[in-house]
Amino acid sequence: MTLPNTRGQSAEDNEPPFEVLSKLWDLRIPGGDIEAKRLTLKLLLIGLAINCETENWSREKFGLSRSELAVLMALRRAPAEKMRPTDLFVVLSMSSAGVTKLVKLLADRGLVVRDRNPAHRGGFLVGLTDTGRALADEAHRSIEVCGPIAQTITALKGESRRAIEGLFDLLLGAAQQGAAVRKSRSQRLE
């Protein structure tokens, strides 16, 4: 193995950038389950690629950032008409300040409304306007065409799709455990 060149490939044997990164990771942090490390790295790289794809798609199609669109879609999926900002930042894995900023931007654009929360003095609830709901619905209907990763997932059929969905369910369960811990911490700080 050689070190990567400026194009992300090893200069000598043209190993793909992921392979070089994975080997460097194992050399610098030896021990542990290398296969688990490789899977985690692949998942991280897929997540980064999805973020890039959805950022470009949401800006081109809706004139919103990926994060702004994520807030709208989270509100659209919510079981109640409105959500507390605390619930939004847990669901979206964002900071409280980040959610507050996004809600303000979306309210200024007429896509969400903020109402006082009668159950929490000083708190408020966030809900979609009719325009925000229509935009979230349009985004939901067209998400499968937002880039190569979404298109690949859409093309999966049968057992392949079920196996991947099972893995995703397992990983989402772990992510939800982390979200529950973050929510518990935030409630202790309130």
Return the C-alpha torsion angle 190, 92, 39, 30, nearest 10: -30
Per-chain mean pLDDT for the chain: 83
Within-domain flag for 2: no
Same domain, 145 and 173: no
Same domain, 57 and 151: yes
Give the range of the structural domain holding residue 172, as residue numbers without chain letter: 156-190
Same domain, 117 and 160: no
Residues 54-102: tens digit of each pLDDT? 899 999 999 999 999 999 999 999 888 899 988 888 888 888 889 999 9
Helix 130-142 crosses helix 34-62 at what angle (to 10 degrees)? Answer: 130
Within-domain flag for 5: no
pLDDT at 59: 95
The pTM of this model reads 0.68
Residues 14-64: tens digit of each pLDDT? 776 767 777 777 777 777 777 887 888 888 888 888 888 889 999 999 999
